[in-house]
């Protein structure tokens, strides 16, 4: 038999204390009047109580309704050291022995903080990327960390689309090294204990937004974001990865509606229980040099203790102004064959207006000072997607090129090199404003450098 108890340590007359009573003790052999020895193994983070004849300590008793029950009242300052910041311990009772252990969350916190400090000292941070896409967000974080003086490499990336992961491997060579684990599969198919997945210091996850985005919910008639057949459970697999990989920092991004979903509430609750402090913010593209009117919800989860060094609101010190006009991001040598009348789009708009529908074309020109969001399906030429008019008084229109799409989101054009137009627009369209993640990387890098410096000074003192 065995009994496992989780307890918050208390205090009695200024001394740390753990109090246990009842059948939980009796069923494992601890009876009133029996004696035991106490062995403190501070370096291992545990206290061992073992029943022996003529031990230094006695199992006390308590009478409840004419029943005599055993009591253990353990008082020692070593409990404070074992319990750590959480103040919790785990107590295993079996085979006439009790072991008081540091809580597993405290073990995980200590492990990830030590890993992070070692990697910052070595100048190379390990990163994991879920729903990697073409590596835009990962590339931005890598760039920002580098500006802050910290190199980084992908320890692992998960992406289900062949073309996207191939593109990232080819076009983001700085992200990868010979030890990077590539998982070309859905996150639900990853078996972390069987796949040689490493622990990391930073995890980035662009959880699919199709269940939370207004258009996606309306199209499928979803009541809840979690009802989406493929994206609904994505948060669960993200939490599963976090629990195993035990990162020190976590960056999650999604559409702004995601912040109000049950998924986001569960993420907050689970990460809080795992010892993280959460910060959240809504970022706009125009604040970080993008002409595209994209907004995104960002959650930054830092291991408790780091939040004082990495404040998400400080991201605004890395603001940059976007180009003044659309003209400034246009390619100069676009093939004339791209210009078309798109009569069917204008006819559809007329039908929608006549039917009282709200669908309208979004026609821009060179003088436009911003651009609505270009999405993953942009290459399909849909009636409400942003489209550019020719600056000659004609009715000719064209889609933005992949290079222009990248510029609208501040994405380096090299990220889309060698791709078909369809795949290029998919990668850019489902991605993020690159400069957001450069700023996040810089913010994290500066904070980690400051934390590492503070720890070094304290150790020296």
Minimum mean pLDDT range among 43-52, 170-179, 283-292, 309-318: 43-52
DSSP string, 92-157: EEETTEEEEEE-HHHHHHHHHHHHHHHHHHHTEEEEEEES-TTSHHHHHHHHHHHHTT-EEEEEEE
Alpha carbon distances (Å) from 6 to 69, 94, 105:
20, 15, 12
Is the pLDDT at 169 greater than 80? The verdict is: yes
* Backbone torsions φ then ψ of 273, nearest 5 degrees: -65, -25
3-state DSSP call for residue 298? strand
Of the three residues 68, 102, 136, the one that is the final residue of a domain is: 102
Mean pLDDT, rounded, of the chain? 91
Question: Sheet holding 362-364: strands in order across?
Answer: 362-364, 386-389, 397-398
Does 226 lie in the same domain as 141?
yes
In a domain, 342, yes or no: yes
- The reported pLDDT for the residue numbered 228 is 38
In a domain, 411, yes or no: yes
- The reported pLDDT for the residue numbered 222 is 47
Cα separation of 30 and 460, whole Å? 46
Does 352 lie in the same domain as 211?
no
The pLDDT tens digits of the residues spanning 315-360 come to 999 999 999 999 999 999 999 999 999 999 999 999 999 999 989 9
Q: Which of 369, 425, 418, 434 is nearest to 399 (CA)?
A: 425
pLDDT-derived band of residue 371, with 50, 70 and 90 as boundaries?
Answer: very high
Cα angle 24, 96, 104; round to 5 = 65
Does 125 lie in the same domain as 98?
no
Domain of residue 284, CATH code: 3.40.50.150
- The reported pLDDT for the residue numbered 52 is 94
Q: Which of 201, 206, 184 is nearest to 245 (CA)?
A: 201
- The reported pLDDT for the residue numbered 219 is 52
In a domain, 123, yes or no: yes
Is the pLDDT at 158 greater than 80? The verdict is: yes
- Say if residues 88 and 7 touch (Cβ distance below 8 Å): yes
In a domain, 281, yes or no: yes
Q: Which of 419, 407, 128, 382 is nearest to 289 (CA)?
A: 407
Does 230 lie in the same domain as 121?
yes
pLDDT above 90 covers what percent of the chain?
75
pLDDT above 70 covers what percent of the chain?
94
Of the three residues 102, 126, 154, the one that is the final residue of a domain is: 102
Cα separation of 316 and 319, whole Å? 5
Does 361 lie in the same domain as 220?
no
In a domain, 425, yes or no: no
- Structural domain range at position 451: 108-320+430-460
pLDDT-derived band of residue 138, with 50, 70 and 90 as boundaries?
Answer: very high
Does 66 lie in the same domain as 135?
no
Owner of token pair 């204990």:
193
Q: Establish whether 248 is a catalytic residue.
A: no
Does 349 lie in the same domain as 450?
no
In a domain, 424, yes or no: no
In a domain, 30, yes or no: yes
How many structural domains comprise the chain? Answer: 3
The pLDDT tens digits of the residues spanning 391-441 come to 888 999 999 999 999 999 999 999 999 999 999 999 999 999 999 999 999
- The reported pLDDT for the residue numbered 438 is 98
- The reported pLDDT for the residue numbered 189 is 85
pLDDT-derived band of residue 281, with 50, 70 and 90 as boundaries?
Answer: very high
Catalytic residue among 97, 143, 209, 371: 209
Does 359 lie in the same domain as 290?
no
Does 345 lie in the same domain as 275?
no
Of the three residues 86, 102, 118, the one that is the final residue of a domain is: 102
Residues near 394 by beta carbon (within 8 Å), at least 6 away in sequence: none
Is the pLDDT at 43 greater than 90? The verdict is: no
Does 406 lie in the same domain as 290?
no
Does 247 lie in the same domain as 136?
yes
Question: Sheet holding 276-284: strands in order across?
Answer: 181-183, 151-158, 124-130, 202-205, 249-254, 295-303, 276-284
Cα separation of 252 and 342, whole Å? 38
The pLDDT tens digits of the residues spanning 95-111 come to 899 999 988 888 899 89
Does 90 lie in the same domain as 157?
no
The pLDDT tens digits of the residues spanning 203-251 come to 999 998 654 455 545 454 445 554 534 556 889 999 999 999 999 999 9
**Euclidean distance between the first and final Cα of the chain, in Å?**
48
């Amino acid at each position: 038999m065995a009994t496992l108890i989780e307890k918050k340590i208390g205090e009695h007359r200024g001394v740390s204390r753990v109090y246990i009573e009842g059948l939980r003790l009796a069923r494992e052999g601890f009876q009133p009047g029996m004696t035991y020895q106490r062995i403190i193994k501070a370096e291992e983070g545990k206290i061992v109580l073992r029943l022996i004849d003529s031990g230094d300590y006695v199992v006390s008793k308590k009478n409840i309704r004419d029943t005599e029950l055993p009591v253990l009242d353990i008082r020692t300052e070593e409990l404070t050291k074992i319990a750590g910041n959480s103040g919790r311990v785990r107590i295993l009772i079996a085979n006439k022995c009790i072991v008081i252990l540091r809580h597993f969350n405290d073990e995980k916190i200590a492990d990830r903080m030590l890993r992070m400090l070692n990697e910052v000292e070595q100048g190379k941070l390990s990163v994991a990327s879920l729903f990697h896409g073409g590596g835009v967000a990962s590339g931005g974080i890598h760039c920002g960390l580098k500006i802050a003086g910290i190199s980084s490499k992908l320890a692992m990336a998960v992406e289900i689309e062949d073309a996207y992961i191939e593109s990232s491997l080819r076009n983001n060579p700085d992200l990868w090294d010979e030890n990077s684990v590539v998982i070309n599969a859905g996150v639900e198919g990853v078996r972390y204990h069987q796949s040689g997945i490493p622990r990391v210091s930073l995890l980035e996850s662009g959880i699919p937004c199709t269940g939370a985005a207004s258009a996606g919910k309306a199209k499928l008639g979803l009541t809840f974001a979690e009802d989406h057949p493929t994206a609904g459970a994505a948060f669960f697999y993200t939490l599963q990865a976090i629990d195993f990989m035990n990162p020190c920092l976590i960056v999650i991004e999604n559409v702004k509606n995601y912040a109000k979903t049950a998924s986001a509430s569960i993420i907050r609750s689970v990460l809080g229980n795992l010892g993280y402090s959460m910060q959240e913010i809504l970022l706009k593209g125009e604040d970080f040099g993008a002409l595209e009117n994209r907004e995104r919800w960002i959650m930054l989860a830092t291991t408790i203790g780091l939040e004082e060094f990495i404040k998400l609101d400080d991201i605004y010190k890395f603001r940059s102004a976007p180009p003044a006009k659309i003209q400034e991001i246009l390619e100069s040598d676009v093939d004339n064959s791209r210009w078309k009348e798109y009569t069917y789009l204008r006819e559809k708009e007329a039908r929608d207006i006549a039917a009282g529908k709200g669908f309208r074309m979004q026609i821009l020109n060179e003088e436009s000072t911003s651009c609505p969001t270009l999405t993953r399906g942009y290459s399909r030429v849909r009636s409400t997607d942003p489209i550019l008019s020719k600056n000659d008084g004609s009715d000719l229109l064209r889609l933005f090129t992949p290079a222009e799409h990248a510029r609208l989101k501040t994405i380096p054009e090299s990220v889309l090199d060698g791709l078909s137009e369809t795949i290029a627009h998919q990668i850019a369209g489902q991605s993020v404003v690159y400069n957001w993640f450069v700023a996040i990387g810089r913010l994290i890098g500066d904070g980690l450098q400051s934390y590492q410096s503070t720890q070094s000074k304290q150790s020296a003192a």
